[in-house]
Amino acid sequence: MVAPEITAIIPVFNDRPALERAIPESLKVLSTITENFEVIVAEDGSSDGSTEFVRQYETISSHVKLLHSDIRQGRGKALNRAIRTAQGSIVCYYDVDLATDMKHLPELIDAVRKGADISTGSRLLPKSDIRRTEGREIASRSYNFLVRHILGSRLFDHQCGFKAFNKTRIIRVLPTIRSNHWFWDTELLVRAQRLGYTVDEFPVRWRAGSGTTVRVKDVFGMGSSILRLWWQIHVSKN
């Protein structure tokens, strides 16, 4: 059996309705990129039937694989586990609500094929096409401003759930990441840049999902995580 070139990871927590769209759409788009791919649903202690739905889909498509956890690990831990499990040389993940238009998936993958260690969609570049509330927009821009100026990142959007990695390279970063939940994306990008990894950031079309679990107060709450990472990097040297 030929090993997959691409592993697409969909992190899930009580997202059964979104999965009904996300899995078939993933199969359709990925099949236009390569014949050799797998879709790992990183299901993190759901209780809404998400597990059973994916298990049923496994019987329909050999590309779909369930990675189940009986207890909630947190988004970061679930992604770490899924990336380590992935068979593809290129690993990508995106949010189950498909907030980022899947038309960008070939571009995301192609950047890594051409040599980038990481590629990431951005909602905050001049050509980005986004739609969300004014409050969320202000919170996002404020948060990313702080990451750039406190943590020295060169990127504009750290939390867009639409990223791809060279697996061999990203595996080396995972042991350094301490965040188990939403700050995982930011910490990964900051630590990777400090290691000299190349990151390709490009504008995307993005629409806020109706069932999103990230609230404005959550974004502001990440301020302490920014300061903690600064301390780890500059003081404790971890």
Task: Give me the active site residues, please.
Answer: 185
- 65 contacts 50 by C-beta, under 8 angstroms: no
Given a contact cutoff of 8 angstroms between Cβ atoms, the answer to whether 106 and 158 are in contact is: no
Q: Is 129 exposed, middle or buried (0-12, 13-18, 19+ CB in 10 A)?
A: exposed
